[in-house]
Amino acid sequence: MAGKNRIGASGREKPLYAKRYLVFSTVFLLLGVVLLLWTTGFLPDFSALWPVVFICVGLVFLYRGFHRNARETTVFAGMFMSLGGLVALLLNTVLTRVGLIRVWPVFMTVAGISLVAYALLKRGAYRVTLLVPAVSIVVLSFVFLPFSLKLVDVEFIQFVVRWWPSLFILLGLVLLTVYFTRKSTPTGETGASPIDESPEKPDA
């Protein structure tokens, strides 16, 4: 029937309701998780669901970033809000005995993963320039997490005093990676995002 399909940039027909499946599937997933937390007793009070607002807003940003050709910063914001909201929701329900002050490195992990998603939308040397600090943030978060959760007997100060020269090694590896990546990148290649590109219109 006319009106149910539309032609995309590639010339293929795209169902008009395809994006509705994505929306409804996301709604059902969130609803199922909330109801499961309630029926299993992990949700003592519905006021603990405030992080769901951030999760929903983050999902909207991700939808706009990947399906509406919005700016790539929208993807970073969407990833950070969605994952951060998910962590906060777990702290309010399943992990109520774990204080926020003990899991703060997890939010570093969330920021690093969000930056990775943002970097993957770039190209060439600019992608590596963003990926290196993103991965470094994730690695550092995993270094801090055992100390904040008190899973190791060594004091953090003692750990730093013994292992601080490793920072110079890490910095050297980072600079070498950036150098060789930029050297192998053709001159004139930009870091434009693929989602910002639109197909060229054929000449009349």
Q: What is the DSSP letter of 50?
A: T
pLDDT tens across the length of the chain (204 residues): 444 444 444 445 455 455 666 666 777 787 787 778 777 777 767 777 788 888 888 888 888 877 766 677 888 888 899 889 888 888 887 777 777 778 888 999 999 999 988 888 887 777 877 888 888 889 888 888 888 888 888 787 888 888 778 878 877 877 777 677 666 655 555 555 555 554 444 444
Interaxial angle between packed helices 104-119 and 124-148, expressed in degrees from 0 to 180 and rounded to the nearest 10 = 170
Q: How far is CA 144 from CA 33, 139, 153, in A?
A: 30, 9, 13
Whether the model clears a pTM of 0.75, i.e. scores above it, the answer is no
Q: What is the pLDDT of residue 33?
A: 78
Q: What is the pLDDT of residue 23?
A: 65
- Please report the sign of the dihedral spanned by the C-alpha atoms of residue 66, residue 69, residue 72, residue 78: negative
Q: What is the pLDDT of residue 111?
A: 92
> Cα separation of 59 and 121, whole Å?
17
Question: Which residues, including other chains, have CB under 8 Å from residue 62's CB and lie 6 or more apart?
Answer: 74, 75, 78, 79, 82
CB contact at 8 A, 81 and 58: yes
Q: What is the DSSP string of 64-114?
A: HHHHS---HHHHHHHHHHHHHHHHHHHHHTTTTTS-GGGSHHHHHHHHHHH
